[in-house]
């Protein structure tokens, strides 16, 4: 069975089952186990001298260990499909983002509480527009690094490639910060994550591109993506903002400090509603369906 066929089966399985609560309430999710491992390494190694070297060693160990585990599991196609389905996160992403829309329909306070579960910025002073905007930005970024990127590396290298990507991406989310504590120790995780997301982020932008609009619109996406604070997150954000006709990004606060980030698609509409969050989720499902269709075609090619 081809890698494309295995990946298509995994995507379909994830779309049907998502992350079943009955299972992960009884046993820890692989991502949780990985997070615990990285957290322990952070506490044990991120001290004293040579922090950058220790961080490099940690990432090298994660890469080698993940690749070895993937090679073992890949000997059994059924386990490879199940493993890939577990590591893909499309259905759970949609559920978390749509939960923000449903909460925001009830009240601003509930909308803030729901969006705080999926973003790292300050949410206590957000208005309704900011809550919806944060949810849509999270949808765009996580569709890239939670769905398209792991699928891309699976397509190239099977389950070992996907496991390596997820290990590096998880490490980046935990230690890849430019803070005093993690600037050196998390350097390798952050740089390797940027590299592994380089192609997937641009593929995600192509999937989210509003093809009913003139192709020349792509130039604006490229320009804004290059100005974005992240080398990769700007691509899906810029594409989704134009698909929906919305302005994304803009000023926000982290740990009480307001930062005047530039707007993505500044000409877009800045008054957002829960319906815009739902529209973003529909757009993600369309992009997912296009990706699945291409995999099915590859399977029979």
pLDDT given at position 178: 83
- CB atoms under 10 Å from CB of 104, counted, come to 23
**CA–centroid distance for 84 within its chain:** 15
pLDDT at 153: 98
Pair of tokens at residue 233: 């997150």
Q: How far apart are CA 73 and CA 160, in angstroms?
A: 9
* Structure confidence at residue 254 (pLDDT): 83
What local confidence, expressed as pLDDT, does residue 261 receive? 85
CA atoms within 13 A on the CB side of 168: 28
Instruction: Specify the pLDDT at position 248.
Output: 93
Run of H or E residues at 152: helix 149-175
Query: Residues 71, 160: contact at Cβ < 8 Å?
Result: yes
User: What pLDDT shows up at residue 22?
Assistant: 78
pLDDT for res 285: 97
d(CA 229, CA 242): 19
Residue 140 structural domain: 3-300
Segments of the chain scoring below 70 in pLDDT: none
Write out the two tokens for 175.
């230690």
pLDDT in the model for residue 19:
86
pTM for this structure? 0.94
Report the C-alpha gap between 120 and 18 in whole angstroms: 23
Residues for the chain: how many in total? 301
Tally the domains of the chain.
1
């Amino acid at each position: 069975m081809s890698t494309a066929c295995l990946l298509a089966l995994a995507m379909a399985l994830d779309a049907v089952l998502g992350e079943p609560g009955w299972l992960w309430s009884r046993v820890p999710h692989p991502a949780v186990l990985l997070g615990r491992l990285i957290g322990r390494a952070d506490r044990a190694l991120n001290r004293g001298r040579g922090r950058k070297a220790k961080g490099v060693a940690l990432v090298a160990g994660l890469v080698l260990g993940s690749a070895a585990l993937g090679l073992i599991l890949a000997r059994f196609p059924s386990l490879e499909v199940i493993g890939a389905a577990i590591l893909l996160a499309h259905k759970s992403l949609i559920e978390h983002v749509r939960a923000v829309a449903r909460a925001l329909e009830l009240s601003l306070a509930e909308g803030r509480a729901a969006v705080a579960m999926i973003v790292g910025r300050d949410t206590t002073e957000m208005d309704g527009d900011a809550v919806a905007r944060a949810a849509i930005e999270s949808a765009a970024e996580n569709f890239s690094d939670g769905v398209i990127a792991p699928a891309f590396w699976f397509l190239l290298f099977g389950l070992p490639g996907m496991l390596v990507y997820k290990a590096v991406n998880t490490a980046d989310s935990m230690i890849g910060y430019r803070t005093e504590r993690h600037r050196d120790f998390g350097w390798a995780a952050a740089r390797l994550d940027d590299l592994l997301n380089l192609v997937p982020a641009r593929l995600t932008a192509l999937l989210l591109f509003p093809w009913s609009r003139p192709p020349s619109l792509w130039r604006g996406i490229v320009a804004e993506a290059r100005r974005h604070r992240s080398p990769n997150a700007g691509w899906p954000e810029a594409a989704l903002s134009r698909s929906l006709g919305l302005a994304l990004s803009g000023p926000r606060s982290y740990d009480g400090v307001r930062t005047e980030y530039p707007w993505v698609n500044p000409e877009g509409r800045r008054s957002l509603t829960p319906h815009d969050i739902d529209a973003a989720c529909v757009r993600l499902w369309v992009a997912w369906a296009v990706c699945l269709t291409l995999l099915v075609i590859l399977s029979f090619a």
